[in-house]
């Protein structure tokens, strides 16, 4: 049973460019959340997708957008990249329910130069 998979593992982009990160959830999970983790910090919630809709959003600008597909996989898009967007981007999947564990992928390390 594959866990949460993310691609790519590493990415280098130039300021102003756009980037798309991908996530496949754990089998049986229908909810995908995205987090940004800056160096030395804990992960920060970006948004969550369920039934192909953005359900909740953290304190991130509209440059951050996402999508969920019918097979529950998800994409995170970031436009007009800034140096401060350099971080580890983590995808977590879970199933609906009140007490539900979130399982994380290995992350995508994004470096903006």
* Interface of this chain with other proteins, residues 2 to 31, rule: CB under 8 A: 4, 31
Applying CB under 8 A, what is the total number of residues that bind other proteins?
36
* Interface of this chain with other proteins, residues 82 to 111, rule: CB under 8 A: 88, 90, 92, 94, 96-107, 109
Q: Identify whether the C-beta of residue 9 lies closer than 8 Å to the C-beta of residue 109.
A: yes
Q: Any contact of residue 60 with other proteins (CB under 8 A)? A: no
Nearer to other proteins, 81 or 90 (CB): 90
Q: Identify whether the C-beta of residue 41 lies closer than 8 Å to the C-beta of residue 56.
A: no
Residues that bind other proteins (CB under 8 A): 4, 31, 33, 35, 37, 39-45, 47-48, 50, 55-56, 58-59, 88, 90, 92, 94, 96-107, 109
């Amino acid at each position: 049973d594959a866990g949460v998979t993310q691609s790519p593992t590493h990415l280098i982009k130039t300021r102003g460019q756009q980037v798309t990160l991908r996530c496949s959830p754990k089998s049986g999970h229908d909810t995908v959340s995205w987090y940004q983790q800056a160096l030395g910090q804990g992960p920060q919630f970006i948004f969550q997708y369920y039934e192909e809709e953005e359900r909740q959003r953290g304190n991130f600008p509209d440059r951050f957008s996402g999508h969920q597909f019918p097979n529950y996989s998800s994409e995170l898009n970031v436009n007009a990249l800034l140096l401060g967007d350099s971080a580890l981007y983590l995808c977590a999947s879970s199933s609906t329910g009140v007490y539900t564990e979130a399982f994380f992928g290995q992350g995508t390390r994004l470096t903006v130069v």
